[in-house]
């Protein structure tokens, strides 16, 4: 029976039967101890050495004629034959041109970081910018004609 005036312990409280001890020592420092396993000592395959090829600029130069061909087909044929198909083709062409623009920017970054010629990426950037502007005008005029 607890003495009078003492607070009885809570039912879920665990009471230690040992007397509390004073700890006079410092706690051990936390030290990283790696676990040895089969992966230790194995190196991954090294990255390939950077080449002088500017792949993003080359891909941009491939996408630019495709987008220009789609835009020309919208202006010359799809606009009169089927305006709804012309809208889809113009949208796809504009998407290809915007992708070529961003790839040309990536090609310019690669050309600066590696020993490559910068002319390819600059030409791709200029052509992609002109194509994006032209296809944007084509899209706006197509949308205006479809609305009216």
Percent residues over pLDDT 70 in the chain: 79
Our separate counts of H helices and E strands in the chain read 4, 0
Residue whose C-alpha is closest to residue 120's, from 133, 101, 106, 107:
107
pLDDT at 98 (0 to 100): 95
State the angle between helix axes of 55-73 and 83-113 in degrees (0 to 180), rounded to the nearest 10: 160
> pLDDT tens-digit profile of 71-117?
999 888 887 888 788 888 989 999 999 999 999 999 999 888 887 78
Residue whose C-alpha is closest to residue 71's, from 88, 90, 96:
90
């Amino acid at each position: 029976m607890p003495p009078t005036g003492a607070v009885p312990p809570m039912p879920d409280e665990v009471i230690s039967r040992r007397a509390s001890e004073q700890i006079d020592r410092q706690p051990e420092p936390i030290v990283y101890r790696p676990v040895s396993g089969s992966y230790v000592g194995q190196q991954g395959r090294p990255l390939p050495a950077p080449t002088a090829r500017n792949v993003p600029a080359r891909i941009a130069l491939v996408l630019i004629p495709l987008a220009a061909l789609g835009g020309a087909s919208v202006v010359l044929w799809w606009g009169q034959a089927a305006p709804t198909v012309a809208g889809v083709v113009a949208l796809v062409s504009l998407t290809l041109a915007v992708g070529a623009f961003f790839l040309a920017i990536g090609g310019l970054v690669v050309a600066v970081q590696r020993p490559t010629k910068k002319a390819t990426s600059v030409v791709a950037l200029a052509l992609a910018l002109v194509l994006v502007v032209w296809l944007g005008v084509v899209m706006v005029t197509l949308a205006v004609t479809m609305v009216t």
